């Protein structure tokens, strides 16, 4: 039997116990599977990486998942916005559902009235993470959830690059990746009220100087803009169906911090 989550994620497998949820996820053969365990929406992540290139790049999947579990625990202990661990084993992890991702919201409900609140919440949550000396490492819009029940943004997918003792380069990298991920979904110049919500909330709550340092870093990479022109042309011409327009996002990201 399947059951739809309150957002546009795939249908969840319904189970009663953690063991049954893990077994069902293994059966589904996916790395990440939505489940409902005794009525509670959750996600099972299995250490499964079929692509050799990613195994070579990132290392063995079970080790990565155990590191992610430890990172979730450490960040939760610091009071940061991460999902609750419902259960974890040697090669599996079950986390509580923390709502739709910002990427899903932008794609499915671009006019949703709570989107500005979700982006502001993401800015505050990232600032809080940085104030605690931690960095997410890759806060793509697919890895930031809008937890409507609690009115907060929540970070998931704390893989390899997450850090409990990050420095300025980790903080600025988080900002650049978030802004880049936004533009790869909305590759348009001009005012971006959602990013403004994010940026204002971040600057109000973050340690001073990080936003400005991200701007300096973006300016140092300016040369990438013209260099990526052929790639942008290729993306427009041959990949119009792609959901994330990453080459188009490069110059927009590099310019974004100019006015902030």
d(CA 36, CA 219): 46
Element (H, E) at 152: strand 152-155
95 interface partner picked from ligand ADP, Mg ion, none, CB below 5 to 8 A per type:
ligand ADP
From candidates 157, 174, 235, 246, binder to Mg ion by CB under 5 A: 157
Binding status of residue 31 toward ligand ADP by CB under 6 A: yes
**Is 105:5 a contact under the CB 8 Å cutoff?**
no
Cα 23 → chain centroid: 26
Coil vs helix vs strand at 43: strand
Cα 137 to Cα 86, 140, 165, 259: the distances in Å are: 23, 9, 12, 24
Binding status of residue 147 toward Mg ion by CB under 5 A: no
45 interface partner picked from Mg ion, ligand ADP, none, CB below 5 to 8 A per type:
ligand ADP
Binding status of residue 137 toward ligand ADP by CB under 6 A: no
CB closest to ligand ADP, residue no: 157
Question: Could you tell me the smallest distance in angstroms from the CB atom of residue 158 to ligand ADP?
Answer: 8
Binding status of residue 192 toward ligand ADP by CB under 6 A: no
When the beta carbons of 45 and 256 are compared against ligand ADP, the nearer one is 45
d(CA 125, CA 161): 18
From candidates 97, 174, 197, 235, binder to ligand ADP by CB under 6 A: 97
Strand order in the sheet with 32-37: 2-3, 12-15, 32-37, 40-46, 92-96, 85-88
**Is 97:5 a contact under the CB 8 Å cutoff?**
yes
Binding status of residue 143 toward Mg ion by CB under 5 A: yes
131 interface partner picked from ligand ADP, Mg ion, none, CB below 5 to 8 A per type:
none
101 interface partner picked from ligand ADP, Mg ion, none, CB below 5 to 8 A per type:
ligand ADP
* Contact track, ligand ADP, 47-86, x by CB under 6 A: ------------------------------------x---
* C-beta neighbour count of 42 within 10 angstroms: 24
Would you give the DSSP letter of residue 163? B
**Tokens, residue 147:** 């937890």
Give the residues lining the site for ligand ADP (CB under 6 A): 9, 31-32, 43, 45, 83, 95, 97-98, 101, 142-143, 145, 156-157
């Amino acid at each position: 039997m399947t059951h739809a989550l309150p957002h546009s994620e795939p249908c969840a497998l319904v189970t009663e116990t953690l063991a049954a949820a893990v077994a069902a996820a293994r059966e589904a053969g996916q790395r990440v599977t939505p489940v409902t365990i005794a009525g509670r929406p959750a996600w099972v992540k299995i250490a499964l990486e079929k692509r050799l290139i990613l195994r070579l790049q990132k290392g063995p999947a079970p080790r990565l998942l155990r590191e992610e579990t430890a990172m979730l625990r450490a960040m939760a202990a610091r009071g940061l916005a991460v999902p609750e661990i419902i259960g974890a084993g040697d090669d599996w992890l079950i986390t509580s559902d923390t709502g739709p991702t910002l990427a899903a919201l932008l794609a499915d409900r671009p006019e949703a009235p709570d989107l500005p609140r979700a982006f502001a919440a993401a800015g505050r949550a990232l600032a809080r993470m940085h104030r605690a000396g931690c960095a997410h490492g890759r806060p793509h819009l697919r890895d930031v959830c809008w937890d409507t029940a609690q009115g907060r943004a929540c970070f998931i997918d704390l893989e390899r690059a997450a850090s409990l003792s990050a420095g300025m380069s980790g903080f600025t990298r988080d900002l650049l990746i978030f802004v880049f991920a936004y533009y790869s979904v909305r590759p348009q110049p001009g005012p971006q009220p959602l990013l403004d919500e994010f940026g204002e909330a971040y600057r109000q709550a973050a340690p001073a100087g990080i936003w400005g340092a991200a701007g300096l870093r973006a300016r140092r990479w300016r040369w990438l803009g013209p260099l990526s022109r052929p790639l942008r042309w290729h993306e427009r011409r041959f990949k119009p169906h792609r959901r994330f327009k990453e080459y188009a996002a490069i110059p927009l990201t590099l310019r974004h911090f100019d006015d902030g």
